[in-house]
Amino acid sequence: MTSPHIRIAVDIGGTFTDLEVTDTASGAAHSLKSPTTPDDPARGLNTAILLAAETHGFALSDIALILHGTTIATNAVLTRNLPSGALITTAGFEDVLEIGRHARTDIYALKGPDRALLIPRRHRFGAPGRIGANGEEVRPLDDTLEVVIEQVAASGVAACAICLINGFANPAHEIAIRDRLAKRCPDMAISCSHEVSPEIREFERTATTVLNALLMPVIARYVTKLRHRLSETGITAPLYLIQSNGGAIALEAAVQAPVKLLLSGPSGGVLAAERLAGQLGLPNVVGVDMGGTSYDVAIIADGVRTVVTQGEIDGLPVRVPMVEMHTIGAGGGSIAFVDPSGRLQVGPRSAGAVPGPVCYGRGGTEPTVTDVNLILGRLDAAAFLGGTFALNLNAARVALDKNVARPLSLEKDRAASGILEVVNAKLAASIKFSLFARGLDPRDFALMSFGGAGGLHACEVAGELGITTVVFPRDPSTFSAHGILQSDILHDASRTEILPLTGESLPALNAMADDLRARGAALLDADAMPDDRRTLTLTADLRYRGQAFELMVLVPDGVADEATLITLRERFEALHRQRFSFDDPKEAVELITLRLVATGHLNDGAAPLAFAARPARPRQTRAVHVDGKWQDIPVLQQDSLTPGSEITGPAVIEQVYTTMLLTGGWTLTVTPTGDLIARHTAGKSQ
């Protein structure tokens, strides 16, 4: 009997559930897409795995590992489908969530946007006692704590966040309150700030802890349901969820820290983009993932993805490490409509998986980007999903005419091309935003397009930005799942202590580093990770004295000494120059937070698989509206292209799960691994 040799990565999106399957015994790799089941994502995941086993001929007992990217946490926050919760904080700080930060996104608005309050005032409670900024106990807890505990119990909430003003410096009071509350309310989900985000800045720390507490019951229910479905099917392989930082985490740990799952699926695409960019020798890449509902933009600069320590979801700050990414509501399912002022709009509202685009025949009535691509000949109604899912062209035309063409007094073709112009402009603007915010020029980057819908828009978006190189991965529609398949176990730990970057701080710095390394080792011990498959990496958040923000730099290995401090300052100032075009060698530098990433390596860093092309198929043509007019252009099947092949646009390259459009002026070549690289032949996109 052979040992388990099948590794599966699952990325559940808004429209499709994507799978990447690798056979470690033979080296074979397969991709698969299956419709997402929004009412029960675990059912869709289970169905997809069963379909993969049937399609590719492996037994369920052959599965050695499942890595799963999920949008459960993200969707729960976006839809506010969260349980009721309470907050226990230091007396006098009950309104931190409501006060927030005074920064205004629209400086000319007479009234700022309403703040998203996940916990109402009546459920925010002040606890006695006080910890000072340096961790000393200023005022002990007293008997009035029992009153607070009873108030929380009487509120009937399902979750409680505990975030004391200086809990990051000394968690003793948070632990005492947690223990008393857990004894009084054993079924309540409880989250403490010193475990979730042990760092300065009470608003962000409080908001993150609250989100974590409210997500705990949501993820616990999903994990329970997922385990039950897999168990019923007979799947017993280890299962890990993917975090916002691109690393894997065990189910038990994910239930305790669900806030780390908020960018679970998209982070896999960034991981895959970083890896492929390195293989192709492209140091600067914009990775864009266009699926059914969203367009995710991530930057790979100098060969490395950016991990930030704070992000935002739907106006809510989240202070945990995550892959830096900008997302807009623009995908294949984005709905086109005419607003009351008579302007054409596309998105952010999406048809999603249900009812989906009109052409899917599942009840959709409003035209989407996918419907428009079908109407303009860019998609083949009979070849969608390898011919297993026929599209209804007439229904798409009727919806376009009723909702857009007639209200704007346009011919259907002009209305359809106008919709694509609008959505392409939105996609290009989101890339500009991501690059300009870091002082980067789009012309210095290649565009790597993936996701089920991205290939139809990549060349036109690149043209708007002056980008002259576009990369289409070998399996673009399941590329995020491919990245997930390369994930390793990642644990993050941090300690905040404001220290001047001078020799006097070396004892404290080394003590912090030793503590973090011990914590990281303990976390990997819990994962039963062998010593030879571990990596512990330290980074430091540094700033000039008086600044209100920090930049993260890598800390050299080993014991910190004077040379370490010099290196840290050099790295900080180089990054400061890149971000802000200046540095100040005379100004003092401070260390604010020391961070550790503990990596448990699940992968061996195997070389990319060679691409085996199938026999060439007869060359076909199709009428496609491209470059402003209808043209009969070549239609090629990607799996029949051989390494070194060159295709000159305009042309359509079809794959089972996606379609790529090469517009005029672009020439595409096939790499030995089957990835496609298109370059603008004029040297600059128009």
Query: Is the pLDDT score of 42 beyond 50?
Result: yes
CA 594 to chain centre: 24
For 531, the 3-state DSSP assignment is helix
- Specify whether 300 is located in the same domain as 436: yes
Is position 135 within any domain?
Answer: yes
What average pLDDT does the segment 597-611 reach? Answer: 70
593 and 529: one domain? Answer: yes
Residues 297, 177 share a domain = no
Q: In this model, does residue 684 exceed pLDDT 50?
A: no
Based on the fold, state whether residues 17 and 100 are members of the same structural domain.
no
Work out the average pLDDT over 145-169: 95
Query: Residues 6 or more apart from 120 whose CB is under 8 A from it?
Result: none
Mean local confidence (pLDDT), 213-218: 96
For the chain, the C-alpha Rg in angstroms (whole number) is 26
Angle at 595 between CA 265 and CA 162, to 5 degrees: 75
Q: Is 615 a domain residue? A: no
Q: Is the pLDDT of residue 686 over 50?
A: no
pLDDT digits over 383-407, tens only? Answer: 887 777 889 999 999 999 999 999 9
Is 608 a residue whose pLDDT tops 70?
no
Alpha-carbon span 665 to 123, nearest angstrom = 61
> Would you say residue 415 has pLDDT above 70?
yes
Range from 148-162, 255-269, 458-472, 525-539 carrying the lowest mean pLDDT = 255-269
- The answer to whether 365 and 613 are in contact (CB under 8 A) is no
pTM, two decimals, is: 0.83
Measured over the CA atoms of residue 430, residue 432, residue 438 and residue 440, the dihedral's sign is positive
Is the same domain home to 570 and 634?
Answer: no
188 within domain boundaries? yes
Whether 14 shows a pLDDT value over 80: the answer reads: no
- pLDDT per residue as tens digits for the range 488-521: 999 999 999 999 999 999 999 999 999 999 999 9
Report the distance separating Cα 661 and Cα 653, nearest Å.
Answer: 6
Q: Are 655 and 674 contained in the same domain?
A: yes
How far apart CA 165 and CA 498 sit, in angstroms, is 16
Same-domain status, 591 and 497:
yes
Q: Where are the beta strands (DSSP E) in 85-158?
A: 85-90, 124-127, 130-131, 137-139
**Domain finish residue from 421, 441, 456:** 421
HEC string of 389-440 equals: CCCCHHHHHHHHHHHHHHHHCCCHHHHHHHHHHHHHHHHHHHHHHHHHCCCC
Burial class (CB in 10 A: 0-12, 13-18, 19+), 175: middle
| pLDDT value, residue 682 | 60
pLDDT band at 685 (very low <50, low <70, confident <90, very high): very low
pLDDT computed for residue 683 by the predictor: 47
The arithmetic mean of pLDDT across residues 196-225, rounded, is 94
The answer to whether residue 194 is domain-embedded is yes
Q: Find tokens 């109407």 and name the residue.
A: 375
Q: Is the pLDDT of residue 142 over 70?
A: yes
pLDDT score recorded for residue 121 = 94
Question: Which one of 406, 421, 436 terminates a domain?
Answer: 421
Domain containing residue 572: 489-600
Number of H helices, E strands in the chain: 17, 35
183 domain residue, yes or no: yes
CATH number of the domain bearing residue 293: 3.30.420.40
In a domain, 312, yes or no: no
pLDDT of residue 176: 96
Assess contact for 207 and 454: CB atoms under 8 A: no
**Nearest CA-CA partner of 562 in 526, 493, 509:** 509
- 252 and 123 in a common domain: no
Q: Which residue has the tokens 């739907």?
A: 314
Dihedral angle sign, alpha carbons of residues 245, 246, 247, 253: positive
**Confidence band, pLDDT 50/70/90 cuts, at residue 613:** low
Q: Rounded distance, CA 550 to CA 546, Å?
A: 11
Are 641 and 671 in contact by the 8 Å Cβ rule? The answer is no
Average pLDDT over residues 27-51: 86
Task: Report, as an integer, the average pLDDT of 659-667.
Answer: 95
Residues 589-611, mean pLDDT to the nearest whole number: 79
Least trusted range by pLDDT, from 172-181, 302-311, 362-371, 523-532: 302-311
Residue 400 lies in a domain: yes
140 CA to centre of own chain: 42
pLDDT of residue 109: 75
Q: Using the predicted structure, report yes or no on whether residue 17 has a pLDDT greater than 70.
A: yes
- Return the DSSP state at 487: -
Going by pLDDT thresholds of 50, 70 and 90, the confidence category of residue 36 is confident
If DSSP codes are grouped into helix, strand and coil, which group holds residue 560?
coil
Residue with structure tokens 């005022």?
139
- Could you tell me if 193 and 167 are in contact, meaning their C-beta atoms sit under 8 angstroms apart? yes
pLDDT higher at 353 or 656: 656
How many Å apart are CA 310 and CA 593, to the nearest integer? 13
- For residue 410, how many C-alpha atoms fall within 13 Å in the half-sphere facing its CB? 20
- Cα distances (angstroms) measured from residue 587 to each of 344, 539, 590: 52, 21, 10
Mean pLDDT in residue range 172-195: 96
- What value does the mean pLDDT take over residues 287-315? 86
* CA distances to 465, 635, 638 from 623, in Å: 27, 10, 19
- Express as a percent the part of the chain with pLDDT over 90: 65
pLDDT of residue 291: 82
pLDDT digits (tens, 9 = 90+) for 325-366: 888 888 899 999 999 999 999 988 888 777 889 999 989 999
Residue 370 has pLDDT above 90, yes or no: yes
The count of domains in the chain is 6
- What is the reported pLDDT for 306? 84
Buried b (16+ CB within 10 A) or exposed e, 63-99: bbbbbbbbbbbbebbeeeebbebbbbbbbebbebbee
Taking the C-alpha atoms of residue 431 and residue 295, their distance in angstroms, rounded to an integer, is 10
615 pLDDT higher than 60: no
pLDDT surpassing 50 at residue 439: yes
Phi and psi of 51, rounded to 5°?
Answer: -65, -40
Per-residue pLDDT at 1 exceeds 60: no
In a domain, 685, yes or no: no
Residue for token digits 């448990």?
600
At residue 85, the pLDDT reads: 96
Please provide the average confidence, as pLDDT, over all residues in the chain.
Answer: 90
Strands (DSSP E) along 473-562, which ranges?
Answer: 489-500, 534-544, 551-554
Identify the pLDDT of residue 416.
96
Write down the residue that tokens 């907050």 correspond to.
Answer: 87
Residues 576 and 498 in one domain: yes
Residue positions counted in the chain: 686
Do residues 473 and 368 share a domain?
no
Query: What are residue 443's phi and psi, to 5 degrees?
Result: -70, -10
Structure tokens at 442: 């789009």
SS3 120: coil
Distance CA 186, CA 656 (A): 51
Evaluate whether 212 touches 257 at the Cβ level (below 8 Å). Answer: yes
Residues 233 and 381 grouped into a single domain: no
Clarify whether residues 580 and 650 are in a common domain.
no
Taking the C-alpha atoms of residue 647 and residue 653, their distance in angstroms, rounded to an integer, is: 9
d(CA 523, CA 529): 9
Q: Are 135 and 166 in contact (CB under 8 A)?
A: yes
Instruction: State the Cα torsion 553-555-556-557 to the nearest 10°.
Output: -140
**What six digits make up the tokens of 362?**
């599942």
Q: How far is CA 667 from CA 445, 661, 678, in A?
A: 17, 11, 5
pLDDT digits (tens, 9 = 90+) for 73-102: 888 887 788 999 999 999 999 999 888 887
pLDDT of 275 > 80? The answer is yes
